[in-house]
Structure 1
Amino acid sequence: MENRKTQQAIEDDLRGVISEIFPGQLVELDSSTPLFNGGLSLNSTQMIELTLAFETFYDIELEPELLTTENFATLGSLAALLEELLEDEVSPV
């Protein structure tokens, strides 16, 4: 039995993580919500906070080369990255 999470489930997880670490954010988060310019308007420090929070949540560690503006552009792009990483975690070796 596989424990694969869908991108939608990961987006839901991320919404929860974001609401915990940024309780004052009032932006409605959907797949296309920008995380930097507009949308959440995260700064680099907040991106680090968010990264640490979801790494802890999923018990994974992002490689530095994955910390790109493309991967963190929107909630959807971040969820797609995490879906791929989590899929690799549960795949048989």
Structure 2
Amino acid sequence: MDDRKTQKVIEEDLRGVIAQIFPGQRVELDSDTPLFNGGLSLNSTQMIELTLAFETFYDIELEPELLTTENFATLGSLAGLLEELLEDEVSPV
């Protein structure tokens, strides 16, 4: 059985995580929604909250060098990063 999650499924997961940790957000989140400037308008503290929340959700740990503005630019870019990380987790060694 293939346990890999697609980017689309990960985006859905992230929408749920974001709704839980930022219940006041009224932004429609699609793949191109910016997470910082405009869109979700996260600040650095909220980025840390979001990171901790999805690390817990997926039981993974992001390496500090992955915490870049490129990886967190949009919901889609973050989901793409997580798709790669989760694929590495389930791939046989």
TM-score, scaled to structure 2: 0.99
Q: Quick one: distance in 2 between partners of 1:35 and 1:19? A: 13
Q: Hey, what does 1:9 align to over in structure 2?
A: 9
By how many angstroms is 1:27 displaced?
Answer: 0.2
What are structure 1's unaligned runs of at least 5 residues?
Answer: none
Q: Quick one: distance in 1 between partners of 2:2 and 2:37? A: 36
Q: Quick one: distance in 1 between partners of 2:7 and 2:29? A: 14
Query: What CA deviation, in whole Å up to 9, does each residue of 1:49-71 have, x standing for no partner?
Result: 00000000000000000000000
1:87 maps to amino acid = E
Query: What CA deviation, in whole Å up to 9, does each residue of 1:7-53 have, x standing for no partner?
Result: 00000000000000000000000000000000000000000000000
1:25 maps to amino acid = Q
What are structure 2's unaligned runs of at least 5 residues?
Answer: none
Q: Does 1:79 align with 2:59?
A: no
By how many angstroms is 1:2 displaced?
Answer: 1.7
Q: SS of the counterpart of 1:32? A: coil
Q: Hey, what does 1:70 align to over in structure 2?
A: 70
Provide the alpha-carbon RMSD of the alignment: 0.3
Q: Hey, what does 1:24 align to over in structure 2?
A: 24
- Structure 1 segments of 4+ aligned residues over 2 angstroms from their partners: none
Q: SS of the counterpart of 2:83? A: helix
The sequence identity of aligned pairs, in percent, is 89
Q: SS of the counterpart of 1:37? A: coil
TM-score, scaled to structure 1: 0.99
